[in-house]
Structure 1
């Protein structure tokens, strides 16, 4: 059985949570017996995952190019996964035309319209507007797809409540985690870590907010502590984030995020906006590093826990308590580990993906017939995307 993943970019699990998500997806599909192909129109970065070593066949494709039509018809995959709604917009109509029997699956990674709405609300101070331009595109992509994989239960409920998405069009599939048996002890660690790709705007905002509002208060209580800020693709921000006299150090890219985080006592995740599950929180789970987090960082993971704080002073107090108090640190570490094992075990979630896909394949025709909005979008709205693509192709020729 051949499965094709079409990626907006080549996955970089060491750089982004989205890259880790793609790696999880590949692993689960291969365990389910699929031969995985990966294709992208992007240039491969130097930190891209070595897909050849994973026995994944790779393909370079181009947007607005009818050569894709002949290629995918020849490949004839039974399953096609689009890793973001923009990828489905570009290639979904071509897949539908030339491989009509293939199950078309959208992986949102995170709900882009929610993230954009939160970013705009933070900037403007206005109320959250979920019905934005991104939502018009993203929700249409969900309706056009046979199945959409959602990483967050919160976002699934939002789609049902705000946009009336039918439940059978959605499948909850979070990060799938296998925790190591042990990690470094309290005494072997020191300092604070803040980590995340700076290609992702919420991470830059979190670093700036931490530098301006959180860290000065933590440093006032812990004058010998340091915060080490790691982030891929953040060199342009080094000037504003590197302040060694204040104990705030910009360290650049962490070549191995888990090995790096395991050396630190506290993981800071002061996100003010964003969506999906946050890879940095899972890095904390995997390394046994307690995480001080905001509601955005905790969303879909542990948002009801008493250690989730939105106010600066509460975040600072939590950070200081965990840094100084061995018993509090050990208790938080144990509770975070238990939560991760209960909610995100790979042993449970890896097989769940195959069950969702098999059910969607078996019920494909019925679901498509009942999904009238999806049919309508394929007939009307998505045709405009097709004709624009054909126009660009003709213009380029």
Structure 2
């Protein structure tokens, strides 16, 4: 989201960030980016007055749940405004994979057809003028499986600056680094499951073969069940929130991320490449991240082999250095900001100049905007009326 805000700001857009979320001690100070901030309420017609007065040219929704809440209000009060959806990742894919994992079966794409979240998420994509999709794999699912018109989709991965071998020289060396590390918000179920998997299935094997091994697990919102995994005697440390994730990854020798379900791209693995830190991950973890370029470490799904490769990467300096170098072409070929930011703005400008024709050809989106199918609107109005009676 901050990358999107930065790109729009760099291209002359005046930005207002409106959110129903409560402020937190760790939120970004948007005023430093020249962005105005506005608190809004769910299921409240006060938003109608706000959006009418603001009268934006472009509205960007952060994930489909926000589009469900406010999309119909934007369409009703500012019908000419271009509606964009930042999907972050396909929630229906993550949910269906998680369900298949818990039921101990192999995930199939057809699982998505019975997933309630899929119906809501696809409807949201169809109602919007353009949706940003972070993964090429998810682009393929939307176009080939769900038959979404490519005119409604734009591939937009993480966007970073170019890397060079000289950048690696500015980072801590092999000798100056220590420990394995994992970083991930504990409220995110794929992260919590990964930590459990590390503790129960992978770390015992690593520790048996490499007795000096230490794993530091960082993440915000550690619950009591997370803190119970803290075992210093076994080299397994629950560290809590990272003050600066970048600095922690730079000092680590190897990132471990045996992710078993999820969707989208994994920011922790791109961050590892930028920090010159090799990683060992799973097929799900590396999905759509490297365009068949050599990984900056290993991709392994078998827990025993995962442990062996993590140890070899940690102890073998030549292997570690080569893996570190492998991250550079991945960053430069898959995630360059200059490669995608211009395309993003061009698509938005095209929509601003010819929204009527674009919407005319989005028949399914028009169908979902029809009053008989506006379930999100009527649900919101019902909740608002109910709240007024209290």
Correspondence for 1:175 among 158, 176, 195: 158
2: CA distance between counterparts of 1:204 and 1:330? 30
2: CA distance between counterparts of 1:105 and 1:33? 17
**Equivalent position of 1:261 in the other structure:** 249
**Equivalent position of 2:367 in the other structure:** 376
Higher mean alpha-carbon deviation, 189-198 vs 293-302, is at 293-302
Correspondence for 1:47 among 23, 26, 35: 26
Paired residues of 2:62 and 2:86 also in contact (CA < 8 A): yes
**Equivalent position of 2:130 in the other structure:** 147
Deviation at 1:262, TM superposition (A): 0.8
1: CA distance between counterparts of 2:304 and 2:144? 33
Paired residues of 2:30 and 2:37 also in contact (CA < 8 A): yes
1: CA distance between counterparts of 2:343 and 2:221? 34
Correspondence for 2:86 among 89, 107, 120: 107
Paired residues of 1:179 and 1:285 also in contact (CA < 8 A): no
Correspondence for 1:350 among 341, 345, 369: 341
2: CA distance between counterparts of 1:104 and 1:32? 18
Higher mean alpha-carbon deviation, 287-296 vs 127-136, is at 127-136
After superposition, residues 12-161 of structure 1 pair within 5 angstroms as 22-128=1-107, 129-131=111-113, 132-161=115-144
SS in 2 for 1:188: coil
Report Cα offsets for 1:278-334 as digits up to 9, x if no partner: 111012012110111111111120274473221112212221111011110000000
Correspondence for 1:311 among 302, 305, 328: 302
Correspondence for 1:275 among 263, 266, 285: 263
TM-score (norm 2): 0.93
Unpaired runs of at least 5, structure 2: none
Deviation at 1:345, TM superposition (A): 1.2
Correspondence for 1:226 among 214, 220, 225: 214
Report Cα offsets for 1:232-259 as digits up to 9, x if no partner: 1114333332011111100001010001
SS in 2 for 1:130: helix
1: CA distance between counterparts of 2:372 and 2:27? 34
Paired residues of 2:274 and 2:327 also in contact (CA < 8 A): no
2: CA distance between counterparts of 1:137 and 1:380? 17
SS in 2 for 1:33: coil
Paired residues of 1:32 and 1:351 also in contact (CA < 8 A): no
Correspondence for 2:289 among 301, 308, 311: 301
Change (3 A) 1:179 1:218: farther
SS in 2 for 1:228: strand
**Equivalent position of 1:340 in the other structure:** 331
SS in 2 for 1:390: helix
Deviation at 1:127, TM superposition (A): 4.4
2: CA distance between counterparts of 1:335 and 1:362? 42
Higher mean alpha-carbon deviation, 95-104 vs 316-325, is at 316-325
Deviation at 1:395, TM superposition (A): 1.6
**Equivalent position of 2:145 in the other structure:** 162
Deviation at 1:346, TM superposition (A): 1.8
TM-score (norm 1): 0.92
Paired residues of 2:274 and 2:331 also in contact (CA < 8 A): no
SS in 1 for 2:161: coil
Correspondence for 1:386 among 361, 364, 377: 377
Paired residues of 1:109 and 1:150 also in contact (CA < 8 A): yes
**Equivalent position of 1:19 in the other structure:** none
For the aligned residue pairs, the C-alpha RMSD in angstroms reads 1.4
SS in 2 for 1:330: helix
Change (3 A) 1:235 1:125: closer
Unpaired runs of at least 5, structure 1: 1-21
Paired residues of 1:231 and 1:253 also in contact (CA < 8 A): yes
2: CA distance between counterparts of 1:216 and 1:303? 32
Paired residues of 1:191 and 1:266 also in contact (CA < 8 A): yes
